[in-house]
Structure 1
Amino acid sequence: MSVIALIIIGAAAGFLATRLMRIEADIPTTMLIGIVGALIGGLILRTLTTIMGGLAGFVGAVLGALLVIWLWQRYRGR
């Protein structure tokens, strides 16, 4: 999956991840969380993407965004 595709998917994944983690974040922060998470998740789960197709890339993006939110909350505080 290209980096551009990960950025586009990441914006949507960030929105979903912030809702799943129940945090309030402004739109740029939500998008940044999603994009970073998509890049991390997309790169880590590249092998899974080749096996299962495009859905795995979205799942990886959401998981990556959830990881970024968890790290952000843990080290930044509430």
Structure 2
Amino acid sequence: MGIVFLIIVGAGAGFIATRLMNVEADVLATVSIGVLGALIGGFVLRLLLALTGFAAGFVGAVLGAMVLIWLYQTYLQNR
């Protein structure tokens, strides 16, 4: 159930992350960024800080999505 929750939260997190970082992306890219960011950020944040619950998952999802956007812009977009 935890992964399904992160995927659902990831859709919202992707939207927030793309708006915070001023990235214009289509809906599929936004949701993909959010889901991947949620999975990465949610797991890392929960493991490192030993936090549980909705707040930790959502904060981790937004942070993970923002890191994923930064990595994409830094390393892949200019190729």
> TM-score when scaled to structure 1?
0.89
In the aligned structure 1, how far is the partner of 2:59 from the partner of 2:73? 21
Shift of 1:77: 2.1
Unaligned runs of 5+ in 1: none
Number of positions where the alignment pairs a residue of Structure 1 with one of Structure 2: 76
Instruction: Give 2:11's aligned residue.
Output: 11
**For the aligned residues, what is the CA RMSD?**
1.4
Runs of 4+ in 1 over 6 A off after TM superposition: none
| CA displacement, residues 7-37 of structure 1 (integer Å, 9 cap, x when unaligned) | 0000000000000000100000000000000
Instruction: Give 1:57's aligned residue.
Output: 57
Q: Identity across aligned pairs (percent)?
A: 61
Unaligned runs of 5+ in 2: none
> TM-score when scaled to structure 2?
0.88
Which amino acid in 2 is paired with 1:69?
I
In the aligned structure 1, how far is the partner of 2:74 from the partner of 2:64? 15
In the aligned structure 1, how far is the partner of 2:55 from the partner of 2:77? 32
